[in-house]
Amino acid sequence: MFVSDRDGNVTRLTDNNADDWLPIWSPDGSKIAFMTNRDGNYEIYIMNSDGSGVTRITNNYAEDWDPRWY
């Protein structure tokens, strides 16, 4: 996953053969939600802003897309 609108100081947060897409910052900037197919179909995951604490938050046969914070 790579999304940036600035130059310099880039840090890789994920490292796998899956597609990690559509990252979105939490309102307080502490977490990132994203979609990935690392478990066979697209599910929503969250992680800390430094890439640690990756947690799957959806788990079903349908593909889950386009995470949002409310």
Contact 44, 32 (CB under 8 A): no
Q: How far apart are CA 19 and CA 41, in angstroms?
A: 10
Dist CA 9 CA 64 (whole Å): 31
- Residue 27: which pLDDT band, with cuts at 50, 70 and 90? very high
The pLDDT mean for the chain works out to 89
Confidence of residue 15 (pLDDT cuts 50, 70, 90): confident
Would you say residue 3 has pLDDT above 80? Answer: no
- Grouping H, G, I as helix, E, B as strand and the rest as coil, residue 27 is coil
pLDDT of the residue at 61: 92
Predicted model pTM = 0.83
The residue type at 14:
T
d(C-alpha 21, C-alpha 44), whole Å: 10
Residue 6: band (very low, low, confident or very high) from pLDDT cuts 50, 70, 90: low
Q: 43-46 long-range CB contacts below 8 Å, 24 or more apart? A: none
